Amino acid sequence: MAYPLEGIKVLDFSRVLAGPFASRMLADLGADVVKVEPPDGDVTRYWGKEIGNMPGCFHQNNAGKRNICIDLRADGAKALINELALKSDILIENYRPDVMSRLGIGYADLKKVNPALIMLSISGFGHFSPESHRPSYAPVIHAEAGLIHRLAKRSNTKLHDLPLSVSDTNASLHGLVAVLAALHLRKTTGLGQHVDMSMLDATVATDDHMIFNLEDAVATGPKPSEIWVTPFAPVLLSTEFRLLVKQLTRKHNFVDPANDSMTTEQAETIRRQAIQTFMDQLDTREKFETAMKKMNIAWGEVRDPATMADQITIKARGLVKQIDDRNGGTRPLVQSPYRFSDADSGNRRSVSHRGEDNAEVLAEWLDMPTAQSTELFDAGVLIFDPDWQHH
């Protein structure tokens, strides 16, 4: 089966997560993605388990891409980028808004070279914003978007960050939607687009609970799901407490221990104690699942993420795949979630080291002979990491 984005060329200047996650998804959809890594490397090369001189975080977000390393400040670098941009369909970057233009390779510059180029720029506060100058990572946006405040208030804990970089991945996925829309529009107009994706915009737009805060109506929103302890595992029940009591009474002959003489707080306390006694009897997953199915209550086991590869659905659908670790073995890679009826998706190659594909990419994209790419290397325009050759 064909990959949906077969033949699309992507030049990826991004680093860390917001940009690399987007380009990783494009690679899994079949695009030819070339990561342009800076000489000092992507910071995610310092995070995660290292195998064969390749840390896990970099591996996860850059599998499937080829890698060239260009010193953007070197004489001759701008000309090389212009040549590559001419051959590109999409360019992704997540520098601060003024960086690419200062280097002479901003959208206004590259549009002159290739009017059909679609450029995705991801930044914390957007290119056209009074705060566009601010450096930003996901935790900064989690704070500004109200997520940290809401988490602390709901859980009655100290203010603390989220355990995932949701502001990065929100911006990545909204950026992908915009890029694919621009690709479709280009069929009609022949022209590219500059997509200015703000992480703050993407996070607030994707926050389904934000409307309750904006309208000062938090009390009218859905109650947080509760977690109950059972003999086999802690489980989350996606239902309100009052409905749980009603369903237990109707479907399991549960005797409601509360009475009219009790206060609301007393009634809830004694009901919780009785429900916990009911939960304690469900000492296997099978018994628990049967009990919930009878009440038509959705639930989820509160799992340790270290066991995620063994989760029944994830295992059956092959979401975690073992790929070449560049060190004689394999390592896990979380695949993209796309499933098509008559097309393919997913990782097709392992991770490249910094500058490993310099000559290959320039030969394929620009028909550049090896002697010329060697000259660029000698001039300091192209760089490669010699350590990878020892693994």
Say whether pLDDT at 38 is over 70. yes
- What pTM does this model have? 0.90
Question: One-letter amino acid identity for 306?
Answer: A
- Mean pLDDT of the 92-96 span: 94
% pLDDT > 90, the chain: 89
- Model confidence over 216-230: pLDDT tens digits? 999 888 888 999 999
What per-residue confidence (pLDDT) applies to 387?
Answer: 64
What per-residue confidence (pLDDT) applies to 223?
Answer: 85
Residues listed for the chain: 391
- Model confidence over 229-284: pLDDT tens digits? 999 999 999 999 999 999 999 999 999 999 989 999 999 999 999 999 999 999 99
What is the band of 384 on the pLDDT scale with cuts at 50, 70, 90? confident
The secondary structure of residue 204, as a DSSP letter, is: H
User: In terms of C-beta density within 10 A (0-12 exposed, 13-18 middle, 19 or more buried), how is residue 59 classed?
Assistant: buried
CATH of 9-210+348-390, one of 3.40.109.10, 3.40.50.10140, 3.40.50.10540, 3.30.360.10: 3.40.50.10540
DSSP lists the bridge partners of residue 299 as 237
- Mean pLDDT of the 108-127 span: 97
> Are 88 and 114 within 8 A, CB to CB?
yes
Q: Which residues does the annotation mark as catalytic?
A: 168
Q: How far apart, in whole angstroms, are the C-alpha atoms of residue 374 and residue 205?
A: 47
- Spell out the domain ranges in the chain: 9-210+348-390, 225-305
What is the band of 391 on the pLDDT scale with cuts at 50, 70, 90? very low
What per-residue confidence (pLDDT) applies to 324?
Answer: 92
- Mean pLDDT of the 59-84 span: 95
Residue-averaged pLDDT of the chain = 93
What per-residue confidence (pLDDT) applies to 388?
Answer: 58
Question: One-letter amino acid identity for 21?
Answer: F
Residue-wise burial string across 327-362, b where 16 or more C-beta atoms lie within 10 A, e elsewhere: eeeebebbbbeeeeeeebbbbeebbbbbbbbbbbbb
- Model confidence over 119-173: pLDDT tens digits? 999 999 999 899 999 989 999 999 999 999 999 998 899 999 999 999 999 999 9
Distances (CA, A) of 213 to 90, 158, 200, 209: 37, 20, 16, 7
What per-residue confidence (pLDDT) applies to 390?
Answer: 44
What per-residue confidence (pLDDT) applies to 169?
Answer: 95
What per-residue confidence (pLDDT) applies to 389?
Answer: 55
Say whether pLDDT at 348 is over 50. yes
- Mean pLDDT of the 89-104 span: 94
DSSP lists the bridge partners of residue 324 as 330
Q: How far apart, in whole angstroms, are the C-alpha atoms of residue 269 and residue 245?
A: 12
Say whether pLDDT at 1 is over 80. no
